[in-house]
Structure formats: structure tokens, C-alpha cells
Structure 1
Amino acid sequence: MHCGACTITLQDVQVQLGLPIEGMLVTGTTDIDYADVCERLLGRTLVGDDIIGCKLKVEWLERNVPAIDDDNDEESVQRYIRSYILQLIGGCLFADKSNRFVHLMFLPLLEDFQIARQYSCESACLAYLYRKLCRGSRAGAYEVADASILVQLLACDRLPFTAP
């Protein structure tokens, strides 16, 4: 391929992830009390080192949000769904290098699911990928691991000769 022939576009993200391409921008504030937000939206209190700055350990989500069954009320189901979506965000869409943390700035966006479905998640994923690739291309950078899932998906789809 010649220079510029291969780049990841918004259409690629839509095809690979199947997320909404049109809608409201994913924005928010990081100047909030995340312990309060977690208690209100996930039904659990954060203690100790489960939260570091604005990031929550994904392990905490796995430990503290119980599975749902037929007897759960609507609020319990919504808490479980928020936890599951946060795990997807932290482990796949907006992953950090360790895959151990999820940024809590996404949690308030999941308060109302009718509004949450209107966000353009794909454009946020693509912007995040470009930001991480830019940081990874700087002199002295040793790895680009944060947003590599999109690069890997594109390589498997568009460059099949690179992997079986």
C-alpha cells in the first residue's frame, strides 16, 4: 500500500463495532463526586483503593454488582446494565494499558438510558483511538496499547494476509 492508503475512518468503526454514528457528542465533566455517583447509579459505596483519581477498578464492578434474575426490580436491572456497559467501556472501547480501570466520567452519561442511546459513541471511540495513536507515535513512546482493539479489528478485516 502506498502512503495514506490505509486509515481508520468513522465508517470502519461503525462496521467493526456497530455503535451509533450519529447523535449527541460524548462530553461531560470530571469535576464531580464519583463516590456519590457510584452509590446513586450502581447502588454501592466505594471504599479504599477501588477508585484512583477518576478511575474505577473493573474488578470492583465484577465483585460488587450482583447478577440479575427474574425477581430483581427495575432499579437493580438498570444498575447491572450500567455496570456491564462500564466494563465494556473500560475493557474494550476506551481501555487503558492495563485493562484494569474504567474512567468514571462515562457513568453519569448512563443515568438515563433513553438519553444514553442518543450519543455518538463511534465518533468518541475514533477520537480516542487517534489521540492514543498520536501519543504512541511520539519519540520515547514504547507502546500503543490503549485503543489497539480497533487497529486489530481493521487489520483482520482489511489486511487478511497479516493474520490467519
Structure 2
Amino acid sequence: MTDADYADVCERLLGRTPGGDHVIGCKLKVYWLERNVPAIDDDSDEESVQRYARSYILQLIGGCLFADKSNRFVHLMFLSLLEDFQVAGQYSWGSACLAYLYRDLCRGSRAEAHKVAGASILVQLWVWDRFPFIAPRRLRVSKA
């Protein structure tokens, strides 16, 4: 669902509504999430813990798994997917992450492209596995 009222979704699922220029279109600045994570402690209620978990997971999604080219925004459609953790745990996040990366690798192969979005660490790990002469050498540490 990409036509949702994301201010309402943020308020309901994160407990706060981003204001000003923190939301651009359907994307939220990851910086806002970092600065507005709801604090929790040992006696926090379950709703506060779930809001904290959603905020943290959304930061992972925007900063690593489904990163945009600037690595500054996360699409708010992912927040709706985190409403029910039981259901969210059944999604194939790995497949979606790879599909997102592959799609952007295709886009990035064009001459006018300057950056690639997605979890580029997966490409690096694949290269290191397939081309060991490119991988950094591991230093052997002598035990004293």
C-alpha cells in the first residue's frame, strides 16, 4: 500500500509524527528515526517496546537492506509491513532484498547511472567468495 496517510501510520506505529521536511513524498529520513527512537527501559509497556522495535527495524531496512541511493531515506511502505510482527516474520525478506538489489543493479548498469541502491554488501560478499584474489587477506595472529 503506497497511498496511505503516512503521518497517521507513523503516529499509530511509531508513536510520533515526523514534521517539516523529514517526510519527502513517501520516504522518511533515517536521521529522523535515529533522533526520535522512543526510549524504553525495564518497566516499559509492550506497545513502547514494539514501537522501539519498529523504529530499529525501519532503520535497518533504510540503512542496509533496502537502502536508497543516498542512504538517507526509507520508504514508509515498509512501516506498514511491520504492524503485526507475527505476520512480518513470515515474509520472505531475503528474497525481497535480493530482488530489490538485482533490480537496481540492472538500473545501475546504464551509462547515465552513478549509484546503486540496495544491500551492496551482498555483492561484495559474493565477489569475495567467487574471486578470492580480490578479497582482503586475513592476517594470522600469533597466540602468546
| TM-score, normalised with respect to structure 2 | 0.89
CA distance in 1, matches of 2:117, 2:81: 25
The CA deviation at 1:114 is 0.5
1:46 has 2:12 as partner: no
CA distance in 2, matches of 1:94, 1:144: 11
Contact 1:82 1:107 (8 Å CA) reproduced = yes
Q: Structure 1: any 5+ residue segments left out of the alignment?
A: 1-28
Q: Structure 2: any 5+ residue segments left out of the alignment?
A: 137-144
* Aligned residue in 2 for 1:134: 106
1:92 has 2:61 as partner: no
* Aligned residue in 2 for 1:101: 73
Contact 2:2 2:77 (8 Å CA) reproduced = yes
Aligned residues: 136
1:56 has 2:46 as partner: no
Percent identity between the two aligned chains? 82
1:113 has 2:80 as partner: no
Contact 1:132 1:147 (8 Å CA) reproduced = no
The letter of the residue matching 1:72 is S
The letter of the residue matching 1:131 is R
Which of the pair has the greater relative contact order for Cα pairs under 8 Å at 6+ separation?
1
Contact 2:101 2:117 (8 Å CA) reproduced = no
Contact 1:42 1:82 (8 Å CA) reproduced = yes
| TM-score, normalised with respect to structure 1 | 0.78
Change (3 A) 1:123 1:145: closer
Which one has the largest radius of gyration? 2
Which aligned runs of 4 or more in structure 1 are off by greater than 3 angstroms? none
The CA deviation at 1:90 is 0.4
* Aligned residue in 1 for 2:54: 82
